[in-house]
Amino acid sequence: MSVPVPDPREVRAANVAEMSRLGLPLPPAQFPLVWEPGDTVELRPTAELEARIAVLHLVLARCFGMSAEAGMSWLLSSHLVETVTPPEWQFVAGDRGDHRSFVLHHDAVFALAWLLGLSRHLDPTAPTDDRLMARLPDLRAGETFAEWRSRTLAAPRDAVEAAVVLDYYYCLDWGYLEAERRGLRLPGLIDSNAIGQRRWALEWAVVFRGPFHDPPPGWEEVDLST
């Protein structure tokens, strides 16, 4: 269900203040807002979030040694083949694609886990939760998507909270890239790649409704260029 968003300028001011506390470069005054007054926001359906995190988890498993045969078998038994994007399919089935880019999806998984209530924090200065892997499908044991869902108590975040965090990561993405460009010290243990991956997941999962918003993008269609 879509709910009204808070004042975007108040949210931006608070997020920029937090960036200042971290010692990051601040985005320019004309930096675009994520939403406009009068918009509404919702999260994608929980089942869709769960399917996306499960597929990314499988892609990561392929990065770290799972065979193509095992990966394809798991997708088939979990009835998730139709949720795999073309680049993911090429990688899972045939090892084609940029291996490093798929490894980076670990932080996208982390952001999705936070949205589903499977991780307690999404601290931009900290790496992923050490307990995260235990809360995802046990691929080694052959746990299917349905079995994982039955043992996992997803508690999706409030859509407004998710929108505020998306705005924060939108600004952080700019700030981390600018800090790296200037050779400045980063405030924590992760870099702009991790921040960008978390933003990617948030941009995909948080859906705004309003006159200036396009329909929700596919996973590969998320625009991180601004």
Tens-digit pLDDT profile for residues 100-115: 999 999 999 999 999 9
- Strand ranges in the chain using DSSP code E only, listed in sequence order: 3-4, 40-43, 206-209
Of the chain, the end-to-end C-alpha distance in Å amounts to: 28
| Two structure tokens written together for 117 | 């209530």
* pLDDT at 70 (0 to 100): 97
* pLDDT at 130 (0 to 100): 82
* pLDDT at 218 (0 to 100): 98
Please state the pTM of the whole predicted model: 0.97
Q: How far is CA 184 from CA 179, 202, 220, 225, in A?
A: 5, 26, 31, 22
pLDDT confidence bin for 131, thresholds 50/70/90:
confident
* pLDDT at 129 (0 to 100): 83
Residue 187 in this model has a pLDDT that exceeds 90: yes
- Note whether 198 and 204 are within 8 A (CB): no
Quote the CA–CA distance of 180 and 167 in Å, as a whole number: 20
Summarize the confidence of residues 57-79 as an average pLDDT: 97
Summarize the confidence of residues 190-207 as an average pLDDT: 98
* pLDDT at 178 (0 to 100): 98
Percentage of the residues of the chain whose pLDDT score is greater than 90: 95
Residue 226 in this model has a pLDDT that exceeds 90: no
Quote the CA–CA distance of 203 and 217 in Å, as a whole number: 9
Summarize the confidence of residues 155-174 as an average pLDDT: 98
Residue 125 in this model has a pLDDT that exceeds 90: yes
Residue 185 in this model has a pLDDT that exceeds 90: yes
Q: Which of these, 176, 198, 172, 201, lies nearest to 186 by C-alpha position? A: 176
